[in-house]
Chains A and B, each alone.
Chain A
Amino acid sequence: MLIINCPYCGERDESEFHYGGEAGITRPGHPDKLSDKEWGNYLFMRKNTKGLFSELWFHSAGCRKWFIVDRDTVTNEIVSIKEISKKI
């Protein structure tokens, strides 16, 4: 069980949170202008990093805010946690 330090509520058990996967994937502004390749990349292709990985978490049973966690996917060590700025 991870202990996650929500930027808004402090340390809580992982069970209070919901996992959101890779951070920093922005929905393209004009999907109709994309090629199939670009659209497929956006929808499906993932970094799936082995090592330090930037990911989204949602405090679903708490403040219900999203934030970013940098976690090592091999050791589970959480290196940093930050709020989502307007542009990610």
Chain B
Amino acid sequence: MKKFSAFSILKEGLTGNKGWKPHWKSVEPKEEYEVIIIGGGGHGLATAYYLAKNHNITNVAVLERNWIGSGNTGRNTTIVRSNYLLNESSKLYEHSLKLWEGLSKDLNYNVMFSQRGVLNLAHSLQEIRDSKRRVFANKLNNIDAEWLDSNEVKKYCDILNISKSSRYPVLGATLQKRAGTARHDAVAWGFARAACNYGVDICENCEVTGFNIKNNKIESINTSKGSIKTKKIGVVVAGHGSVLAQMAGFRLPLETHTLQALVSEPIKPILDCVIMSNAVHVYVSQSDKGELVIGAGIDSINSYQQKGNFSVISGQMGSLVELFPVFSKLKMLRTWGGIVDISPDASPIIGKTPIEGIFFNGGWGTGGFKATPGSGWVFAHTIANNQPHELVEPFSLNRFYKGKLIDEHGAAAVAH
């Protein structure tokens, strides 16, 4: 693999850019692997990378039914933050945020991680209390967090409307300065390239269609490219978790919904932070291309369609224009949807399954992009050691039978 550097860019620039090679190779699957990862999104690719890098396990395949990054990884609005309320979640997401901070260097691939700051707005007295509580909780967990009153919010983002006559006035916000955005495609490609460099096979257009299980142990899987033997499988398929679990014969508490997003026409730089509001349900940032990247909540019905309801978009546009009157004349360029796996407590499910050798990582719902490196790290550890990483012990499937839910919903600003 060719190492990227300022020197290689200069050299290629002077010699007609003819020396660049594909960043990774998509190959046909072999007959057998030590570990098979199902799902070539960011989480699956990161898992393969850390299996190789941290645990020396390189006889690994990542099987992706479409092309890598074609799922939620390439469809999300890329907000990365770690200001969750509960200890279990904040530890997990902060571990991931720390990895983001060194990721471009570690992968030798620019994932364009931009720590531009994320503001979570508060619009009512109760929200002020909840937000301050979250700031205190974050500080106790050594996560950077600040409370800003409405004038300080205005100073941080001067195009935001803080008028008292708004239907839901901005009364303040929490700020995490280390939070921000990253380039989603680059995350998939960077992990793929780095994993490939360790000898991991990346097999695209390879759909898993069934499991062969004997005495409650996995022996092989069926795919659109034939059957493959293995003793260990990591299932990391986002919205398709329940489909794979049904093939393997166990149950999950997940529901699959469409989550939509949209971008505006590109404009000159106007917004240099991320603004999120749970109460009026919209969030927005500006991409490097100049488009506003806008999102909100899920469509209410169960759906495996990467296409949603227009009423959800019109609702969030109303909120956007109230918060930013300056955007009212902007044209929207395109909309899309991804299918997200919503868990009952808005927390992921990671660890062993009732089938020996099958490990599960899912339920990240609307907010897993931020966890990509951390999720791969802890999942690789879990698969390699047959034992959950200490950060994910509380996130086992078993918590739904023990009543030990990690109820982030509503408690923190867990929209994304």
Closest B residue by C-beta to A47: B242
| Contact (Cβ within 8 A) A21 B400 | no
A contact residues, range = 20 to 34
In the complex where A48-B242, A73-B304 touch, is A40 in contact with B256 (Cβ < 8 A)? Answer: no
Chain A residues with Cβ under 8 A from B251's Cβ? Answer: 41, 45-46
| Contact (Cβ within 8 A) B401 A46 | no
CA distance A1 to B307 in the complex (A): 11
Give 16 CB contacts A-B under 8 Å.
A1-B309, A1-B310, A2-B301, A21-B302, A36-B402, A43-B344, A44-B253, A45-B400, A46-B254, A48-B242, A48-B256, A48-B302, A49-B242, A50-B243, A53-B302, A73-B302
Chain B residues with Cβ under 8 A from A50's Cβ? Answer: 240, 242-243, 256, 304
**Does B224 have its Cβ within 8 Å of any Cβ on chain A?**
no
In the complex, what's the smallest C-beta–C-beta distance from A15 to chain B, in angstroms?
6
| Contact (Cβ within 8 A) A19 B252 | no
Chain A residues with Cβ under 8 A from B253's Cβ? Answer: 44-46
In the complex, what's the smallest C-beta–C-beta distance from B345 to chain A, in angstroms?
9
**Does B104 have its Cβ within 8 Å of any Cβ on chain A?**
no
**Does B303 have its Cβ within 8 Å of any Cβ on chain A?**
yes
Chain B residues with Cβ under 8 A from A46's Cβ? Answer: 242, 251-255
Chain A residues with Cβ under 8 A from B401's Cβ? Answer: 36-37, 39-40
CA distance A48 to B309 in the complex (A): 19
Known A1-B309, A37-B401, A48-B254; further 6 A-B contacts with Cβ < 8 A: A19-B301, A39-B401, A41-B251, A45-B253, A46-B242, A55-B301
Listed in ascending order, the chain A residues whose CB lies under 8 Å from chain B are: 1-2, 14-15, 18-19, 21-22, 36-37, 39-41, 43-50, 53, 55, 71, 73-76
Q: Mark B242-282, 1 if CB is under 8 A from A, else 0.
A: 11000000011111100000000000000000000000000
Q: Mark B215-250, 1 if CB is under 8 A from A, else 0.
A: 000000000000000000000000010110000000
Chain A residues with Cβ under 8 A from B252's Cβ? Answer: 45-46, 48
Q: Please classify the interface of chain A as helix (H, G, I), strand (E, B), loop, or mixed, using the class held by over half of its residues.
A: mixed
Closest A residue by C-beta to B250: A45
CA distance A22 to B301 in the complex (A): 10
In the complex, what's the smallest C-beta–C-beta distance from A55 to chain B, in angstroms?
7
| Contact (Cβ within 8 A) A73 B303 | yes
Chain A residues with Cβ under 8 A from B304's Cβ? Answer: 50, 73-74
Chain A residues with Cβ under 8 A from B328's Cβ? Answer: none
In the complex, what's the smallest C-beta–C-beta distance from B216 to chain A, in angstroms?
16
In the complex, what's the smallest C-beta–C-beta distance from A13 to chain B, in angstroms?
9
CA distance A21 to B300 in the complex (A): 9
Q: Please classify the interface of chain B as helix (H, G, I), strand (E, B), loop, or mixed, using the class held by over half of its residues.
A: mixed
**Does B305 have its Cβ within 8 Å of any Cβ on chain A?**
yes
In the complex, what's the smallest C-beta–C-beta distance from B112 to chain A, in angstroms?
34
Chain A residues with Cβ under 8 A from B344's Cβ? Answer: 43-44
CA distance A73 to B402 in the complex (A): 31
Closest B residue by C-beta to A53: B302
| Contact (Cβ within 8 A) A44 B400 | yes
| Contact (Cβ within 8 A) B311 A1 | yes
Interface centre among B240, B251, B256, B401, by most A CB within 10 Å?
Answer: B401
Interface centre among B242, B252, B300, B302, by most A CB within 10 Å?
Answer: B302
CA distance A41 to B253 in the complex (A): 8
CA distance A43 to B403 in the complex (A): 10
The 8 closest A-B pairs by CB, nearest first: A44-B253, A48-B242, A40-B401, A45-B251, A44-B400, A19-B300, A50-B304, A36-B401
CA distance A50 to B305 in the complex (A): 10
Chain B residues with Cβ under 8 A from A21's Cβ? Answer: 255, 302
In the complex, what's the smallest C-beta–C-beta distance from A66 to chain B, in angstroms?
15
CA distance A43 to B133 in the complex (A): 30
Interface centre among B303, B305, B403, by most A CB within 10 Å?
Answer: B303
CA distance A44 to B405 in the complex (A): 11
Closest B residue by C-beta to A18: B300
Chain A residues with Cβ under 8 A from B255's Cβ? Answer: 21, 46, 48
In the complex, what's the smallest C-beta–C-beta distance from A21 to chain B, in angstroms?
7
Interface centre among B252, B304, B402, by most A CB within 10 Å?
Answer: B304
| Contact (Cβ within 8 A) B302 A55 | yes
Closest B residue by C-beta to A51: B304
Chain A residues with Cβ under 8 A from B309's Cβ? Answer: 1, 14
Closest B residue by C-beta to A69: B301
In the complex, what's the smallest C-beta–C-beta distance from A79 to chain B, in angstroms?
15
Q: Mark B291-307, 1 if CB is under 8 A from A, else 0.
A: 00000000011111100
CA distance A43 to B310 in the complex (A): 31
| Contact (Cβ within 8 A) A73 B400 | no
In the complex, what's the smallest C-beta–C-beta distance from B308 to chain A, in angstroms?
10
Chain B residues with Cβ under 8 A from A1's Cβ? Answer: 309-311
